[in-house]
Structure 1
Amino acid sequence: MPAALPRFSWALPLLFWGCSVLPNGGAIGEGAFHILGTAQDGGRPQMNCTKECCAEMAKANQKERVAALGVRGERGWMLVDATPDAPSQVAAMAEMPAAILLTHAHIGHYLGLAHLGREAAGTHKQQVWCSNRMAKFLRGNGPWNQLVELGQIELRIMEAGVSYSPIPGVSVVPFEVPHRDEYSDTFAFSISAGGERLFYVPDIDAWDELSFDLIQIANTHDTLLLDGTFFSDQELPGRDMSLIPHPRVGVTMDLLEETVGSTGTRVLFTHFNHTNPLWQSHSPQSREVRRRGFGVAQQGTLPAFRKPEPDPIAPVENYRLVWSDEFDGSEIDFSKWEVRRENGKHGKCTIRRDCSVLDGKGNLVLTTRLSEDGPESGMISTDGFSEWTYGLFEARIQFEKAPGHHGAFWLQSDEYGKVKDDLKASGSEIDICEYFGVPVSLSHNIHWNAYQSKEKAHVGMKIGLVQSKPNPEESFRTYSYLWTPTESVFFVDGKETWRTQEGLSHHPEYIILSVLVSEWESKQIIPADFPDSMLVDWVRVFQLS
């Protein structure tokens, strides 16, 4: 884990000049992300609430708007959730949204669509992005079906794990989350805009019911804007809190505190019930949130924020990140990768495009499978896009399980083997890590000179006997290769495992990720072992500053 970073408080007052202003004080200025409200569905003060938390605001004719998010793109902006306060929230952005995204069908998240009807704004084909179940609810129930039938809204269906671009310059990946889904399912959104990545989940029942890893989300986003409805169970005496489940703020902090401290991810709470003590910035609860490195969202423009770049796992100094892929989203980024030898052979396998995919949970999945024509597998490379001479190369991998299936993270050049013993002209094949389905098979290898030739040379180090725990096929481990002009150094989970000067390449090389069944491994293959998969969490390249 990278060294701990200083903790920050994100609940500071925000000051802007020359900006639109939300009705209760938040400023809307330049930037990608704009918090248009932070209250739970009923707003604050709530109807029929005579408690101190509402009475003073009602007396002063003040109001906290319901939680919503505005996101600016290259042209126009999009509104995340159409709340009952949509008129004032849209006014703060000074123009109608080009798109509206809906998380789910609870009153604070879609009732604002009513303002698009002919009794009010009278919009024409206003894009509304939502899940298929949410769309069925709107089409099947009045008055929402009238908006559809009159063409005042145009429904765009979103699927979990698929990337969309509702407006230019903004990409969105929905994630399904558990909630009281009486009328629709519930989405959280991963949103990329203005060079930042934000994860927005205003409503959820519990973190331990997720189908994805929240820690992984925190590792791969700059900002998390999370459900902070209740600080504790004592806020609504007399109410059965099990009927309105939300993760309590303390539970969320317990889950994410280590990640916030080590990565610098900005985590802010929103969607506060009117009883939540986080409304008072000087309350003991607010001070606790800030002390633990979290923040309380406030109306206004979120200051631009990019968390620090990841540090190398290997113990090196003065290396900076120059290239990476965290494998987020729903599709491989083919501006970085190619399918290597597509429909051709690699060992006994035929390489197929659909054997290399993303799982929507932050991983690349390379699969070996058995077809009528024999084994098929996945292999991608950066050939034609990126190559490097020297540097630190790291990947976090969970290898395949079946004996005889061969997963690898390696470097090579197109000139490999063309000039005998000239490692500047031809380079070498650098197998940063290879695994053959048996813990003791984990190894590092370097090859040079042409395959199948008498001059073919190789050095290697089997490290499985000393590096087999935790099991490479049962957990993710980080494999690193430090390539300098004088030597090669290999690491597993930041611990050096091999150092050599033999076979040292001085030629630009590209990255390859692959899983296959080789000719010499074929005797171990059992049809029942197919399909099998190798998972890659991320790949990063560092070079000297």
Structure 2
Amino acid sequence: MFFRISVILLLAFFPAGNAQSNSAGNEWELVWSDEFDGNSLNTAKWNFEEDCYGGGNNERQCYTKSKKNVSVSDGFLKITALKRKTKGFAFPKSWREGAEGSLRGKKRFEKVKRPFSSGRITTKNKGDWLYGRFEARMKLPLGQGAWPAFWMLPTSNSYGTWPLSGEIDIMEAINLGQSCDVCEGGREDRIHGTLHFGNPWPKNNQATAEVHLASNVPGFHHYAMEWYPDYMKWFVDGQLYSTIKKDQWFTKGASAENERAPFDQPFHIILNLAVGGKWPEENNDVGYFSMDYPKSVEVDFVRVYKCPVAQDGGSCSFSSN
């Protein structure tokens, strides 16, 4: 979700295939999940993020913990973007407070207004993982400027600030349903899976791939990423569409002696719905359509699995039973 600028675009795209690995007998083990069965967000598993930072992308929303923006009912999480002028901190909490705090003086208390409110939740320090399978069943909003994401950031910036310590985008989409010259039917239907890494911003690097949703763009779809020590795989609805190997990523961060760096440290999950920003506003029908709100992301579940043999070079699959 951070800056989409890059120096090198490394595209690792492979034909569609079965989501299950071919290593018989090595099964994924469920280690964490949220099925959203309650009446409110489970704060033992999730944190609310509250700021108007805009992700470094000039996004148009403030994130809040209001139930109007983040709610749970009938077995679903709903993150809703509203056209509602909102005021909040100009910078993320991690910049304003604690050991990671980089702001000094009045900057820590600076506030700004945005024309939209929305939600962003994370598992930071409540669910942090090194390697595994991460999946969610989600229904994404249509419309120019809508930018839903299911992604991960490092829990500790061991190699330095973004993107030196990495970013994993499991699923991003922008402007679904809008005009698209390269999409079947002429309407935006692409899902993006990306790694961010490499040189310090603004000369940062990324490896990315995209896939077209086969049908029912506004319906529920299953998004997954498998993270092994030497490679990562991306899936939509059980179909493999991208593999990125460790020789395609790197970091110029300090103390990066491991060839797998920066993706050799624990990461946490993030779910959010952004409005506008550089990437969506410069594509498709351009800008953002403010009259089309509210818009929501619906999430049926989020699940995390571990592969017991991953550290030994093995891979995992699901039982056929």
TM range (shorter): 0.5 to 0.7
Q: CA deviation at 1:433?
A: 0.7
Asked if residue 463 in structure 1 is aligned to residue 221 in structure 2, the reply is: no
CA distance in 2, matches of 1:394, 1:541: 7
Q: Which residue of the other structure, out of 110, 118, 123, is the alignment partner of 1:382?
A: 123
Asked if residue 409 in structure 1 is aligned to residue 155 in structure 2, the reply is: no
Asked if residue 364 in structure 1 is aligned to residue 102 in structure 2, the reply is: no
Q: CA deviation at 1:344?
A: 3.2
Q: CA deviation at 1:414?
A: 4.0
Q: Gapped runs of 5+ residues in structure 2?
A: 1-17, 86-113, 177-187, 250-259, 309-321
Aligned to 2:300: 537
**CA 1:530–1:452 in 2, change beyond 3 Å: closer, same or farther?**
farther
- Is the radius of gyration larger for structure 1 or structure 2? 1
Q: Gapped runs of 5+ residues in structure 1?
A: 1-312
Equivalent residues of 2:145, 2:175 under 8 A apart: yes
> 2:237 is aligned with what amino acid?
D
Equivalent residues of 2:69, 2:82 under 8 A apart: no
Q: Which residue of the other structure, out of 349, 353, 363, is the alignment partner of 2:65?
A: 353
Aligned to 2:220: 476
CA distance in 1, matches of 2:304, 2:229: 16
Q: CA deviation at 1:441?
A: 3.0
CA distance in 2, matches of 1:443, 1:321: 25
Aligned to 1:429: 167
Aligned to 1:517: 275
Paired residues in the alignment total: 224
Aligned to 1:400: 141
Equivalent residues of 2:170, 2:193 under 8 A apart: yes
Q: CA deviation at 1:419?
A: 3.5
Query: TM (normalized to structure 2)?
Result: 0.64
- Which has more helix, going by share of residues? 1
**1:108-507 correspondence runs (5 A):** 314-316=19-21, 317-340=26-49, 342-346=50-54, 347-354=59-66, 355-372=68-85, 373-416=114-157, 418-419=159-160, 427-438=165-176, 439-449=188-198, 452-454=201-203, 456-464=204-212, 467-471=213-217, 474-501=218-245, 502-503=248-249, 505-507=263-265
**CA 1:385–1:410 in 2, change beyond 3 Å: closer, same or farther?**
same
Point out which structure has higher relative CO (alpha carbons under 8 A, 6+ apart): 2
Q: CA deviation at 1:486?
A: 0.7
SS class of match (1:524)? coil
Query: TM (normalized to structure 1)?
Result: 0.39
CA RMSD between the two structures? 2.3
CA distance in 2, matches of 1:416, 1:450: 14
Aligned to 1:301: none
SS class of match (1:366)? strand
- Which has more strand, going by share of residues? 2
Q: CA deviation at 1:327?
A: 0.7
Aligned to 1:84: none
Cα deviation digits, residues 368-419 of structure 1 (max 9, x gap): 1111341211100001211000000010001111122100100111445844
CA distance in 2, matches of 1:457, 1:344: 26
